[in-house]
Amino acid sequence: MRDRFVNQALTKWMEGTGKESEIVISSRVRLARNLCNIPFPNVASKAQAQAIVGQVEAAIKDAEIEETAGDLIFVNLEALEPLDRAVLVDKHLISPQHAEEASGKGLILRADEAVSVLINEEDHLRIQCLFPGLQLEEAWELASRIDDLLESKLDFAFDEKLGYLTACPTNVGTGLRASVMMHLPALVLTNQASRVLASLSQIGMTVRGLYGEGTDATGNLFQISNQVTLGRSEEEIIANLVVVATQLIDHERMARQVLLKETNPQLEDRVCRAYGALTSARIINSQEAMTLLSNVRLGIDLGIIQGVSPRVLNEMLVLTRPAFLQKLAGRELSPFERDVQRASLIRERFSLDG
């Protein structure tokens, strides 16, 4: 079973390493790029889409790219089973949109999954780098280097005034969307989260749930990203986000100290009950699992629970997702069967540490 976790589920961002990793789960940088003279994916014909896939596939076979970016694997999404594509979504390697309609779509993955290049999603190319902890600068540097190498082979649509041209005007300019996924349970428990996070929109940041636009902030996980992509340099965008993340980390730490001091028995009770439920439950839905895992993780961070790896939350974020459960079971599962499978998987994972 342990092998299964290691071989199939774990990806770099789940390692729980990197700076500030007790609060920042992962850092991601995405660059949107398009090729000149071919319509954007929403308008391109199937033949045009396939031509792009071919061009990009040829471009990455370049030795110099391999040297910088590491071992890159090209995946034709059409050749993957829908369930496998769903697993890639669970691992945050591709977007749900990319997985849904696989025709004429491709993906380039680095062996350690820290780099993925989506071909023909909303834009011709989306270069993504996903690192554990707070490592936005590192992710940007790597994404930019891969961008340079691809640009040396491919003609990108670029305008002197507007910068990189993208299908959606919200990405034009730098094409850069940087985001950090943060675990902020103490801000939520002390009722500060909505106030603090709402204020971010006033400084050009957006806050979303775990799986992007239109999803809830289950498990007290929030994804904070830059909203503006035009008129600011990449370095400014990244630096702003680092400042915001650092402030949120400080707020969260302070809130945790307050909780520890003022409501210790209640906090301990909440954490230990969550641990008890997770290690005993026979049926558990994903929402409940996320909430309990968030509490357990807070308990680990505060030293209330010992002997459990802080990685457990990061890993379970992916492992307890419907697609992954079905992948592990090797067949399609009804929602009820998934809840049973999820509970058993969580018990098994906790027994590894216990």
Cβ closest to other proteins, residue 190 vs residue 279: 190
Answer yes or no: is 4 a known binding residue.
no
Residue 346: other Cβ atoms inside 10 A:
24
Write the DSSP string, 83-135.
HHHHHHHHTTSS-HHHHH--TT-EEEEETTSSEEEEESSSSSEEEEEEEESS-
Distance of alpha carbon 101 from alpha carbon 97, whole angstroms? 7
Cβ closest to other proteins, residue 18 vs residue 173: 173
Instruction: Give the strand pairing for 158-159 and 115-119.
Output: unpaired
The residue with tokens 């391109």 is 44
Q: Is 194 in the site for other proteins (CB under 8 A)?
A: yes
Tell the smallest beta-carbon distance from residue 43 to other proteins (Å).
4
Answer yes or no: is 180 a known binding residue.
yes
- Contact between residue 325 and residue 333 where contact means Cβ atoms under 8 Å apart: yes
Residue 45: other Cβ atoms inside 10 A:
11
Tell the smallest beta-carbon distance from residue 188 to other proteins (Å).
10
Distance of alpha carbon 237 from alpha carbon 9, whole angstroms? 32
Which residues between 229 and 248 bind other proteins (CB under 8 A)?
229-234, 237
Distance of alpha carbon 12 from alpha carbon 27, whole angstroms? 11
- Please identify which residue in 6, 79, 160, 330 interacts with other proteins, judged by CB under 8 A: 160
Cα torsion through 87, 91, 94, 96, rounded to 10: 60
Tokens representing residue 225 in the block: 């990203």
Which residues between 278 and 337 bind other proteins (CB under 8 A)?
none
Which residues between 206 and 225 bind other proteins (CB under 8 A)?
206-208, 213-214, 217, 222
3-state secondary structure of 39: coil
- Please identify which residue in 65, 127, 200, 284 interacts with other proteins, judged by CB under 8 A: 200
Distance of alpha carbon 3 from alpha carbon 16, whole angstroms? 19
Cβ closest to other proteins, residue 149 vs residue 304: 149
Q: Is 38 in the site for other proteins (CB under 8 A)?
A: yes
Q: Is 152 in the site for other proteins (CB under 8 A)?
A: yes
- Please identify which residue in 36, 58, 243, 352 interacts with other proteins, judged by CB under 8 A: 36
- Please identify which residue in 11, 128, 135, 174 interacts with other proteins, judged by CB under 8 A: 174
Q: Is 68 in the site for other proteins (CB under 8 A)?
A: no
Which residues does residue 72 pair with via DSSP β-bridges, in sequence order? 110
- Contact between residue 34 and residue 156 where contact means Cβ atoms under 8 Å apart: yes
- Please identify which residue in 64, 112, 155, 250 interacts with other proteins, judged by CB under 8 A: 155
Answer yes or no: is 30 a known binding residue.
yes
Residue 108: other Cβ atoms inside 10 A:
24
Show the binding pattern over residues 103-132: x = contacts other proteins (CB under 8 A), - = does not.
Answer: -------------------x----------
Cβ closest to other proteins, residue 207 vs residue 300: 207
Answer yes or no: is 26 a known binding residue.
yes
- Please identify which residue in 2, 46, 195, 331 interacts with other proteins, judged by CB under 8 A: 195
- Total number of residues shown for the chain: 354
Cβ closest to other proteins, residue 107 vs residue 193: 193
Q: Is 96 in the site for other proteins (CB under 8 A)?
A: no
Tokens representing residue 350 in the block: 């906790």
Tokens representing residue 194 in the block: 């909505």
The residue with tokens 């505060």 is 302
- Contact between residue 286 and residue 227 where contact means Cβ atoms under 8 Å apart: no
- Please identify which residue in 162, 203, 329, 352 interacts with other proteins, judged by CB under 8 A: 162
> Annotated binding residues for ATP, as ranges?
26-30, 92, 126, 177-181, 208-213
Annotated binding site: 26-30, 92, 126, 177-181, 208-213
By CB under 8 A, name the binding residues for other proteins.
34, 36-40, 42-43, 122, 144, 147-148, 151-152, 155-165, 167-170, 172-174, 176, 193-195, 197-198, 200-201, 204, 206-208, 213-214, 217, 222, 228-234, 237
